[in-house]
Amino acid sequence: MKNIFTPVLYISLLTITIETTYGKAFNNLKAADSLYMNKKWTVAKLIYSKFSGDTSKNSMIWNRLGFCNQNLGLNFEAIDDYNKSLANNPVPLLKGSTMSRRENNFGYL
Least confident of 11-25, 39-53, 74-88, 91-105: 11-25
| 2-106 homologous superfamily | Tetratricopeptide repeat domain (1.25.40.10)
Q: Taking 80 as the threshold, does the pLDDT of residue 74 lie above it? A: yes
Residue among 101, 104, 94 at smallest CA distance from 59: 94
H-assigned helices in 1-109: 2-37, 41-52, 59-71, 75-87, 92-106
Give the pLDDT confidence score for residue 68 in this predicted structure.
Answer: 97
pLDDT at 2: 53
Res. 53 pLDDT band, cuts 50 70 90:
confident
Per residue in 2-40, pLDDT (tens digit) is 565 555 444 443 444 333 444 455 577 888 888 889 999
Residue 48 · residue 38 · CB < 8 Å:
no
